[in-house]
């Protein structure tokens, strides 16, 4: 696989399938960080400096160091195997930007939902949007230094998730960890949804080891 930050921006001729995966979540959960850490190319970012206009609108509790916010999308790429590439689209977290989700979710194989257990209630509306659209998704709990750990079933109950919905823990800053949750999502979709034969044969097996295909 091409290393992070490689100057080689072009896909190998062997690639047969491109898969779209949006990374969604509430404001400040780490979407931009995850896309940046796992992308094999320099990610495209549409971040703007937060100004006084956001005071009282964007809740910065627990995010004292956050000074920028995504206003359109983040874009990254992961070559999962010689024949399949993932295109990652990080979405804005604030509700006022959610109209942009329509285009970013269209044609997606599945969605990765990033959550922060310190602000779990912020994820309820995000999950509701995906359930309305009937899009398969996996939930990744991004760990922060002051995050409280919860059992998987506690989170499943709190978020009202189906038993088959994967819930995994990750560190969005770590490439291997971020790659692992993407693999979990792809496995989940392959197990639960009819997909093209090309995609099924393109994903290497087994994929159980995070980063094994990277």
Instruction: For residue range 81-127, list pLDDT tens digits in order.
Output: 888 899 999 988 666 666 776 778 889 999 999 999 999 999 998 99
Q: Can you tell me the distance from the alpha carbon of 130 to that of 175, in angstroms, rounded to the nearest whole number?
A: 26
Average pLDDT rounded to a whole number, residues 172-194: 89
**CA dihedral over 203, 208, 178, 6, signed as positive or negative:** negative
pTM, 2 dp: 0.75
Q: Which two tokens stand for residue 117?
A: 């257990």
State the pLDDT at residue 1.
39
Beta strands 137-142 and 111-115: pairing type? parallel
Q: Taking each helix axis from N to C terminus, what angle separates 31-38 and 175-192, rounded to the nearest 10 degrees?
A: 100
State the pLDDT at residue 81.
82
């Amino acid at each position: 696989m091409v290393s992070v930050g490689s100057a080689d921006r072009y896909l190998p001729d062997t690639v047969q399938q491109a898969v779209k995966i949006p990374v969604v979540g509430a404001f400040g959960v780490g979407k931009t960080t995850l896309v940046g850490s796992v992308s094999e190319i320099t990610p495209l970012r549409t971040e703007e400096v937060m100004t006084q206009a956001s005071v009282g609108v964007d809740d910065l509790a627990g995010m004292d160091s956050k000074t920028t916010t995504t206003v359109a999308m983040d874009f990254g790429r992961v070559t999962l195997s010689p024949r399949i590439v993932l295109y990652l689209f990080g979405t804005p977290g604030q509700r006022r930007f959610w109209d942009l989700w329509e285009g970013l979710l269209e044609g997606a194989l599945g969605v990765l939902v990033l959550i922060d257990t310190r602000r779990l209630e912020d994820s309820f509306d995000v999950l509701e949007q995906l359930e309305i659209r009937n899009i398969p998704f996996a939930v990744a709990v991004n760990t922060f230094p002051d995050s409280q750990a919860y059992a998987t079933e506690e989170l499943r109950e709190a978020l009202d998730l189906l038993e088959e919905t994967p819930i995994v823990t990750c560190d969005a800053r770590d490439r291997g960890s971020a790659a692992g949750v993407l693999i979990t999502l792809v496995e989940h979709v392959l197990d639960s949804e009819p997909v093209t034969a090309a995609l099924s044969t393109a994903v290497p097996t087994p994929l159980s080891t995070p980063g094994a295909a990277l």
